[in-house]
A = this chain, B = another copy of it.
């Protein structure tokens, strides 16, 4: 099948943030072509956005429903293969459901949707339809995250005892939603964001990352969520104690009032024999400490790394690969699996590696339980 995979985008019109990120990520490797879009619920804005993107006018739609209907009617050699949903959270469910019901594969931004009911319905639909579904917990796309996961899976650290996952940001330290700031407005609005604020927006990234890397499942949480900024309707900060299914303990915190912090996601995992530390803002280094012996700095592209770490780097060591490259790994892997599907082949396991609808379900449950624990001021089983 000598062609690129064809993507239709939902959301991501002029003024949006994450839509442009998805487009760059999809474009980077030359495996995906943007062929159509419903970029805004405002039809004029959608058209203008499509024009900016050099799309022909007839492939720019005023709603996702229209897009699916029209694309469905196009010849197979032309119509989109999958949708990419890059809207605020409250639209995810409807758009994803519609796509699955119309037979389109789906890439969806995180978190999956607004609540467990929606989440389970989507999970069931994916299972029924057998269509591909990727959730863009993009931080799992970094090569050194793959390396950490592989090392732990291979037992190099011994049994895991302690996990510390952090996601501090500072950009919501003031009442930004009181101004025109679009990103702040929907993220602090329960109707569009869901039951949690910072914990849903970025806490789920930390949760997904730690489960991905460690392979552990969270068994119980004790949370303390706070809305520090006067007038704010959702938590802008949350601290969580964690207990894992293997007896390990942990801490997870997410904050959007950690004044001066940029996007400082990090994770530390300690096992019986050693520990790893990874920081998203300097993502090409994985620090590995040992009980007795020199600390190692594993680096993207240097020396013997696990095949999964090698498979997710593009350029030689010392040429820093960043956020977009990690994001692009989700898209490249999705495109790889989609192509294999369309060609009737099995995907290479190295690339059949992107967050699934079930990761999304676990994320929704995490949000629900953290909110409950904070409200009840006690430990809650997950």
Residue A194 at the chain B interface, CB threshold 8 Å: no
Contact of A169 with B262 at beta-carbon distance under 8 Å, contacts A53-B30, A241-B241 already known: no
Chain A residues 274-316 with CB under 8 Å of chain B are 274-275, 280-284, 288-299, 301-304, 314-316
The listed residue with most B CB atoms (<10 A of its CB), out of A28, A280, A304, is A28
> A51 — which chain B residues lie within 8 A by C-beta?
2
A270 near B170 (CB under 8 angstroms)? yes
Contact of A303 with B299 at beta-carbon distance under 8 Å, contacts A20-B314, A30-B23 already known: no
In the assembly, how many copies of this chain are there?
4
Chain A residues 146-172 with CB under 8 Å of chain B are 157-158, 161-162, 164, 166, 168-171
> A280 — which chain B residues lie within 8 A by C-beta?
318, 320
User: Can you list 12 A-B pairs, Cβ within 8 angstroms, ordered by A?
Assistant: A162-B237, A170-B289, A239-B241, A259-B274, A262-B302, A283-B320, A292-B302, A293-B303, A294-B298, A296-B297, A319-B324, A321-B323
Give chain A's interface residues, CB within 8 Å of chain B.
2-4, 17, 20-21, 23-24, 27-30, 34, 51, 53-54, 157-158, 161-162, 164, 166, 168-171, 173-174, 222, 224, 226, 228, 237, 239, 241, 243, 249-251, 253, 255, 257-264, 268, 270-275, 280-284, 288-299, 301-304, 314-325, 377-379
